[in-house]
Amino acid sequence: MRLGLIERGTRLKISVQDVQGIGGDTYEATFYDMHDLINESSFVVQSLELFRSFNKLDKNAVLDINFSVGATVHTFKGRAAGKMYNDMIIIEQIDEIETLNRRVFQRDELCVDIRVYGLSEDKINESRYLRPEIPPVLADMSFDISAGGMCIITNAVLESEYDPYYLIEFSFSQKDTFLLPAKLVRRSRYARSKVGKNDYGFKFIFENMPDEMGRLTKAILSKKLSLITL
């Protein structure tokens, strides 16, 4: 996916992060047109609220941007590069667009205790992890889990100097305990549930832990069966 393929009128969710990676306000916007037609590095959105807030934005603030096309979710980061007219804002793309298909893995609304730790990028390809000795940056409950990732809906704010990489600890039973590296691929203040106001979506990283995906799939199935028989 690239910017030039986004259709005019596509609805975007734009969340503002400060220079420490702390999330702030979230805005609804509409994709209007490309700004840089040659390099496809910047585009124009229309958003009354973002337009009104533009002068208050830190010039180094990072924008978490996501939009959906059918079952596919696209996420990337940008920066507010300029203000035009008629509620128009120019946004510069600063990383690659990541595409996820929500139907690749069946998400199950399984609530388990989770602990989230920051994880430096140079450690995301380890083949085995130990629980960090430092406190977690987030401790709460999962909203849903699949073999591909996890959603956490919470009132807590997720903050880490290592964003977007994290280590997530959770368990379904004494034997089914997991400590998995993950990438934060969605950050939204428009949660799908009244459980909390912040919605965080993670994608597990299994490149060097292929057996863990199979083990997680079996653990999820066992947990679902145990709930049915209760």
Whole-number pLDDT of residue 3: 79
Contact 17, 27 (CB under 8 A): no
* Short-list 65, 68, 28, 24, CA closest to 50: 28
Quick one: tokens of 133?
Answer: 């000795």
Alpha-carbon torsion, ordered 190, 220, 113, 101, to 10 deg: -20
Dihedral (Cα; 166, 169, 112, 204), 10-degree rounding: 50
Cα separation values, 148 from 33, 136, 137, 212, Å: 33, 22, 22, 11
pLDDT at 1: 64
Residues of the chain under the 70 pLDDT cut? 1, 18-24, 70-71, 101-108, 190-193, 228-230
Return the CATH number of the domain spanning residue range 113-229. 2.40.10.220
* 3-101 homologous superfamily: Electron Transport, Fmn-binding Protein; Chain A (2.30.110.10)
Runs of H (alpha helix) within the chain = 48-53, 210-229
Q: What is the C-alpha to C-alpha distance for residues 164 and 159, in angstroms, rounded to an integer?
A: 10
- In three-state secondary structure terms, 207 is coil
Question: Residue 23: its pLDDT value, please?
Answer: 54
pLDDT of residue 101: 62
Provide the pLDDT for residue 168: 97
What pLDDT score was predicted for residue 46? 93
Is residue 164 reached through a cis peptide bond, with omega within 30 degrees of 0 on the bond before it?
A: yes
Verdict on whether the full-model pTM lies above 0.85: no
Question: Which tokens go with 184?
Answer: 């934060």
Residue-range domain boundaries for the chain: 3-101, 113-229
